[in-house]
Amino acid sequence: MILVTGATGTIGSHLVPLLAESGADVRAMSRRQGFDFEDAESLKRAVDGVDTVFLLSAPGKTAEHDLALLEVAQHVRKVVKISAIHTGEPGFELTSSWHLPGEQALRSSDLMWTILRPTTFASNALAWLPQIQAGEPVPSYYGDGTNGVVDPRDIAAVAAKALLTDDHDNQTYTLTGPELLSTAQQVDILSEVLGKPLTTMDISPEQARTSMLAQGMSPDSVDFMLKGFEIVRNGGNAVVTDHVEHVLGRPPATFRNWAQDTLNTLTAKS
């Protein structure tokens, strides 16, 4: 039995069908199923009879939720944890504070484990749909900075391999796509795929701060977001690895692949 936390999310919604197609018994954990990371009894029910866990916790309370589940899952054989790129590196203290406790708990445990550290998701581009629909420029917070944008379906496929085989036990993988792309380059690809002109508009850190505060975001959250923007602007997330290909035996999907496959959704909402 494999427990999939975050089963209805961006990764989990692709992972659950992959596991089911393989013939694995899958238990989907989400609030919709009555499970709650902050309810110890529900966590015990979630892991009852489970052999393997896919662990994905929401940002902010990631460490608390990871440790809560690991506390009641000491009987399981293996855990595959979703972490984040650059965890533990200088300059990434906040996201590291979310993920490092869970990573460290796994490494020091008697469990088999795999840690997956994905970079920026291709599906983050769906946040641009309001601008695309309205014919407005897509906001660009990163300047010419680039990301190794990864298709979440590839993250799910790597997770499935780690869950279903022992080939990737005690490994940490940084998951990226095959190329570095700026926001402008991503928007150019969407323009070609959708067959409509799209543009970007550079947003300065000062403009971003004013806008986010006006939307009701807390100053701490704004500072975190701006720090992330700055890192990408300065080339700090210009990372491409071969880890997806190493696990799957094929190159990772491109952003264009993702956009073409998501064309119906984009077209319907644009």
| Sign of the CA dihedral running 217, 223, 226, 227 | negative
Residue type, 263: L
**Has residue 269 got a pLDDT over 70?**
no
CA distances from 162 to 11, 80, 145, 177 (A): 14, 7, 31, 18
Total residue length of the chain: 270
- What pLDDT shows up at residue 225? 87
Using pLDDT thresholds of 50, 70 and 90, give the confidence band for residue 30. Answer: confident
Q: What is the pLDDT of residues 155-193, one digit of tens each?
A: 999 999 999 999 999 999 999 999 999 999 999 999 999
Residue of 263 and 162 predicted with greater confidence? 162
- What pLDDT shows up at residue 207? 95
Q: What are phi and psi of 41, to 5 degrees?
A: -65, -40
The whole-number average pLDDT for the span 208-231 is 91
Residue type, 225: M
**Has residue 214 got a pLDDT over 60?**
yes
Q: 129 Cβ partners below 8 Å, 6+ apart?
A: 266, 269, 270
Q: What is the pLDDT of residues 45-82, one digit of tens each?
A: 999 999 999 999 988 899 999 999 999 999 999 999 99
Question: Hey, what's the torsion of the CAs at 180, 183, 184, 186, to 10 degrees?
Answer: 70
Using pLDDT thresholds of 50, 70 and 90, give the confidence band for residue 267. Answer: low
- The answer to whether 60 touches 48, Cβ cutoff 8 Å, is no
Using pLDDT thresholds of 50, 70 and 90, give the confidence band for residue 151. Answer: very high
Write down all domains in the chain, each with its CATH number in brackets: 1-118 (3.40.50.720), 120-150+176-238+254-269 (3.90.25.10)
Residue of 270 and 232 predicted with greater confidence? 232
Where is 112: in which H helix or E strand? strand 112-118
Alpha carbons 242 and 246: distance in angstroms, whole number:
6
